[in-house]
Amino acid sequence: MTDIIDGAALDGSVIPSAEPRTPPPGDPHLILIDGSGYIFRAYHALPPMTRPDGTPVNAVFGFAQMLEKFLNQHSSSHIAVVFDSARQTFRQEIYAAYKAHRPEPPEELIPQFALIREATEAFGVAQVELPGYEADDLIACYAKAFEAEGGRVTIVSSDKDLMQLVRERVIMLDPIKQKPIREPEVLEKFGVPPNKVAEVQALAGDPTDNVPGVPGIGIKTAATLLTEYGDLESLLARAGEIKQPKRRELLLTHAEQARISLRLVTLDCDAPLPLPVETLVARSPEPVRLAAFLAENNFRTLLARLGLGDGAPPNRPRPVAAPLADEPADPLEIPFGNYDCVTDLETLKTWVAKGRAAGVIGLDTETNSLDALAADLVGICLAVAPGKACYIPLRHAGADLLTESPAQIPAEAAIEALRPLLEDPAVLKVLHNAKYDLEVLANPKNGGIQVAPLDDTMMISYALEAGAHGHGMDELSQLHLRHKPISFDEVTGTGRARIPFAHVPLDRATAYAAEDPDVTLRLWHTLKPRLREARALALYEQVERRMIPVLAAMEQAGVKVDGQELARIGTDFGERLVVLEAECHRLAGRAFNVGSPKQLGEVLFDEMGLKGGKKGKTGAYSTDASVLEDLAAQGNPLPRVVLQHRQLAKLKSTYVEGLTAQIAADGRVHTDYSLASTSTGRLASTEPNLQNIPIRNEEGMKIRRAFVAEPGHVLMSADYSQIELRLLAHLAEVPTLREAFEKGEDIHSRTAAEIFHLDPANVDKEARRRAKTINFGIIYGMSAFGLGGRLGIPAGEARGIIDAYFAQYPGIRNEMERLKDEARMKGYVLSPFGRRLWIQDIGAKDPVRRAGAERQAINAPFQGGAAEIIKRAMVRTPRALREAGLKTRMLLQVHDELVFEVPEAEVEAAGATIRKVMEGVAELRVPLLVEVGQGASWAEAH
């Protein structure tokens, strides 16, 4: 399962270095614009210009003007502008003087670089850069990748260094002379074909880049020599044979310099691709965005030329380099609806062809179940462009038993026709909540399709705006597209009137179903570019997107649960509950429902006269555990019995019965992890929730013993020790806590010694308990009142402890204040790895709500940082296990713990591999420590 994405989305390079494919229809053509060349020319060609706010913009204006003109004159299926992203590259390591005398860019140009990137995005053109690589290298990489896919490539640049890339399907275009450069032009310039250009340059050198070459040898001589000797190495090897003594001497003396020069001028075409080739697909600019950009920079002539000026549209700008000639320019104006229902194979094939030509498609499935692992595929929907979508019914039935099934393509035939598209490494599939559809389609009964490569708009939204709002498709559609999609309930009805989707008439099914991939594709166009702007692209590509197949595999694997054991526990609990209930009734003097807090409150407070005020806005008595504990301490026996009843009732209903109902035919329980439901980046687990299985007391532990391994296997648990406190020591830079973690000391004892000024040997249990409470309380933003309540001491005394804590650890207080300020200023706080965690209510007038938001702001980075660390471990561990030749499977994640099923023979190797990955996944200022255990059950693995 993980394999389908691994090679693709993971490193950004979806293009395998396989045989060239048959070119898809529609002439795949990638235009790569050398952004640096454009910038340089724009800057020097135009006199200084500034915006009203004083920002220099002459290069931005020139760049935008040139780009607009170019897009107006050329069109292609794919396009990108490539920028340099480093002064320090591998070339400086080879030869320190490389480009050493290049002056720093002029001061007025520096603030314009960012604006130029904005301009590129505003025109709807992808921009590519990669730290440590020059634009030329990236151009080489993308040319190679696209050519391997059967496409052709045009490089727009006048940089002669790029001429080495010219070949049959790769040409250059000189942007000044508007002249194509093919092999003859290269031959004319260098006297050799393109594949020898680098060697000529290696001999001749290049003063502008400080490439030394061999003194006294120019391009002409170099070409002659290479033609005679074949290649540089042969020439250097046989230099002694050269007749002219001077030339011979020079070559012999400077042979090594020539070799170094060759490495400097040879472009590196094996760099990772920062963006998948598919995302470079040409698209029309969003008029609103483009107009906003042009207006912001006061580019009125361009606004006017594009028909975007004041009182602009109705005159829509013409499509610029649009992939489909008949696509209108503004996605917001393309109507929803009017979708095709595909019921014959010929039509389906045309949709498959359209999808391949588009390179990016929206995809969604319709099924008969929310449970991905159980669902039968009922239909598939595709979108090939905004507004162009279809529904392909596969297993629709008549509305009732008397009505015949509607005509549709036999499911197997349709699936086989779609498989090449859905598995095509050159077609990016965009889904919303991809994990679900991946699992449905991977199921053999639904075709066993391995969808790749993919993007997930839910995860894109989550990477951008966790905590700001939900990430369901309907919500995002209304938020970003101002469109309310047809709801599922509208189509199927609700309650007992609900009909299975397979029975919905095809016209209504199509109107609903095809809208989903249409919305998804439009959301992708809107949201994907924002990842870069929010500095969230790496988070999305390297963590969130990779989690999808990892979690799918974990869900599919499931964990074995001993149903008979659960049944025995349930019987035991049931018998004891009967006794406890009778005892409650006896102590109350009457029968009542012990499970009803309302009735219990009446018994305890109205009838028995115990004291304990009201709570909550409903005015009801609170009867929670802390209240009952207090009452029990007063000497009344009933609360104690109720507490015991509550505990067993909880275990029986939620864990014994709830869990038993979830055991699948394979004897295992398959949870559903949600990837985008928390505000901090944590996962959540549902149906069943396997992240809150009891562990803290003996009765609860019995449940955990029912989680077992297959025969011949053990369960292995690996959990991060004190990860959030380590993050506290890391983020707040607390030297003494760092030292304690480095030495492996007991962190709470160390804290106790420091805040209570005790000799470490004299820290007793109570002091340690208080220190532990405050350590965790800090991470939760706890107040003196809360701490006092927790410790059972007056708030004043708790205040003293907190003051002592902050006096000892001023860095922590500073960090807490900084986080609150950050949230107030920006509306979000940054996690330790840069994720934006949005905080609701931080600007609320209501002080209660605002205080709550401040606690969230304090807690979110710690919780979110820990979540990110374990996610990184999760995307690496399966691969590491595989590469170690192990069959160990990762089954569960519980926030700071991973659970594996390990063949007995692999225990040692798996433990070592897992620990190594988990501990090495982040470099903090304190070490990460992972505790590993194993046993026949989850209880024993701890």
Partner DNA sequence: TCTTGAGCGTAC
Partner DNA sequence: GACGTACGCTCAAGAT
Task: Tell which positions 789-818 bind DNA, by CB under 7 A.
Answer: 789-790
478 belongs to the binding site for DNA (CB under 7 A): no
Continuous H helices in 707-830? 723-731, 735-743, 747-755, 765-779, 784-791, 795-808, 810-826
Closest CA to 466 of 381, 388, 543: 543
Tokens at residue 849, please? 């709500």
Q: Give the whole-angstrom CA distance, residue 367 versus residue 359.
A: 26
582 belongs to the binding site for DNA (CB under 7 A): no
Taking every pair of C-alpha atoms in the chain, what is the biggest distance, in angstroms?
A: 119
- The DSSP code for 837 is E
Minimum CB distance to DNA smaller for 222 or for 676: 676
Q: Give the whole-angstrom CA distance, residue 64 versus residue 626.
A: 66
- Smallest separation (angstroms) from DNA to the CB of 892: 11
- Smallest separation (angstroms) from DNA to the CB of 486: 18
**Quick check: 438 and 549 in contact, CB under 8 A?**
yes
**Quick check: 581 and 645 in contact, CB under 8 A?**
yes
Report how far apart, in Å, the C-alpha atoms of 590 and of each of 136, 598, 636 are: 86, 15, 16
598 belongs to the binding site for DNA (CB under 7 A): yes
595 belongs to the binding site for DNA (CB under 7 A): yes
Q: E strands within 562-660?
A: none
* Segment near DNA (CB under 7 A); pick from 48-56, 229-237, 847-855, 920-928: 847-855
**Count of residues interacting with DNA (CB under 7 A):** 78
568 belongs to the binding site for DNA (CB under 7 A): no
- Smallest separation (angstroms) from DNA to the CB of 920: 20
Interacting residues with DNA between 500 and 539 (CB under 7 A): none
- Within 10 Å of residue 95's Cβ, how many Cβ atoms? 17
- Smallest separation (angstroms) from DNA to the CB of 364: 22
Minimum CB distance to DNA smaller for 749 or for 773: 773
- Smallest separation (angstroms) from DNA to the CB of 851: 5
Enumerate long-range contacts of 299-307, CB under 8 Å, 24 or more apart.
299/57, 299/61, 299/64, 302/61, 302/64, 302/65, 302/68, 305/68, 306/68
Choose, by CB under 7 A, the member of 223, 551, 588, 628 that binds DNA.
628
852 belongs to the binding site for DNA (CB under 7 A): yes
Minimum CB distance to DNA smaller for 568 or for 850: 850
Minimum CB distance to DNA smaller for 447 or for 688: 688
* Segment near DNA (CB under 7 A); pick from 78-86, 149-157, 242-250, 614-622: 614-622
Q: Give the whole-angstrom CA distance, residue 144 versus residue 133.
A: 16
- Smallest separation (angstroms) from DNA to the CB of 939: 11
* Segment near DNA (CB under 7 A); pick from 66-74, 176-184, 203-211, 773-781: 773-781
- Within 10 Å of residue 872's Cβ, how many Cβ atoms? 20
List Cβ neighbours of 591 (8 Å cut-off, separation of 6 or more): 585
String of contacts with DNA for each residue 291-330, x by CB under 7 A = ----------------------------------------
String of contacts with DNA for each residue 862-901, x by CB under 7 A = -x------------------------------xxxx----
String of contacts with DNA for each residue 58-97, x by CB under 7 A = ----------------------------------------
Choose, by CB under 7 A, the member of 150, 309, 313, 597 that binds DNA.
597
**Quick check: 690 and 669 in contact, CB under 8 A?**
yes
Minimum CB distance to DNA smaller for 510 or for 678: 678
Choose, by CB under 7 A, the member of 54, 131, 245, 495 that binds DNA.
495
- Smallest separation (angstroms) from DNA to the CB of 918: 13
Q: What sign for the dihedral angle of Cα 316, 317, 323, 324?
A: positive
Choose, by CB under 7 A, the member of 776, 880, 924, 940 that binds DNA.
776
**Quick check: 937 and 695 in contact, CB under 8 A?**
no
494 belongs to the binding site for DNA (CB under 7 A): yes
Interacting residues with DNA between 151 and 210 (CB under 7 A): none
229 belongs to the binding site for DNA (CB under 7 A): no
Choose, by CB under 7 A, the member of 848, 883, 885, 923 that binds DNA.
848
Closest CA to 91 of 265, 258, 264: 264
Choose, by CB under 7 A, the member of 27, 412, 475, 624 that binds DNA.
624
- Smallest separation (angstroms) from DNA to the CB of 678: 4
Q: E strands within 359-504?
A: 360-367, 377-385, 388-393, 428-431, 454-456
Tokens at residue 411, please? 């499911």
* Segment near DNA (CB under 7 A); pick from 366-374, 451-459, 588-596, 748-756: 588-596
Interacting residues with DNA between 640 and 659 (CB under 7 A): 643, 646-647, 649-651, 653-654, 657-658
- Smallest separation (angstroms) from DNA to the CB of 263: 50
- Smallest separation (angstroms) from DNA to the CB of 699: 8
List Cβ neighbours of 407 (8 Å cut-off, separation of 6 or more): 343
Choose, by CB under 7 A, the member of 616, 711, 792, 885 that binds DNA.
616
- Smallest separation (angstroms) from DNA to the CB of 439: 17
Minimum CB distance to DNA smaller for 195 or for 599: 599
Minimum CB distance to DNA smaller for 109 or for 651: 651
Tokens at residue 609, please? 């006269």
Report how far apart, in Å, the C-alpha atoms of 739 and of each of 811, 874, 927 are: 15, 28, 10
- Smallest separation (angstroms) from DNA to the CB of 458: 14
- Smallest separation (angstroms) from DNA to the CB of 396: 24
Minimum CB distance to DNA smaller for 50 or for 692: 692
Interacting residues with DNA between 681 and 720 (CB under 7 A): 682, 684-689, 691-697, 700
Report how far apart, in Å, the C-alpha atoms of 910 and of each of 717, 920, 933 are: 11, 15, 11
* Segment near DNA (CB under 7 A); pick from 102-110, 249-257, 560-568, 618-626: 618-626
490 belongs to the binding site for DNA (CB under 7 A): no
555 belongs to the binding site for DNA (CB under 7 A): no
Q: Give the whole-angstrom CA distance, residue 912 versus residue 665.
A: 33
Q: Give the whole-angstrom CA distance, residue 351 versus residue 421.
A: 10
Q: Give the whole-angstrom CA distance, residue 233 versus residue 258.
A: 10
Report how far apart, in Å, the C-alpha atoms of 455 and of each of 281, 386, 442, 458, 602 are: 14, 16, 17, 9, 55
Number of H helices, E strands in the chain: 40, 23
Minimum CB distance to DNA smaller for 595 or for 667: 595
Q: Give the whole-angstrom CA distance, residue 275 versus residue 277.
A: 6
Closest CA to 70 of 181, 155, 143, 145: 155
- Smallest separation (angstroms) from DNA to the CB of 723: 8
856 belongs to the binding site for DNA (CB under 7 A): yes
- Burial readout 200-230 (b: 16 or more C-beta within 10 A, e: otherwise): bbbbbbbeebbbbbbeebebebbbebbeebe
Closest CA to 853 of 823, 814, 816, 890: 823
Choose, by CB under 7 A, the member of 224, 478, 571, 593 that binds DNA.
593
Closest CA to 334 of 515, 153, 171: 515
Interacting residues with DNA between 243 and 282 (CB under 7 A): none
Minimum CB distance to DNA smaller for 521 or for 842: 842
Minimum CB distance to DNA smaller for 164 or for 856: 856
Choose, by CB under 7 A, the member of 319, 323, 359, 781 that binds DNA.
781
- Smallest separation (angstroms) from DNA to the CB of 791: 9
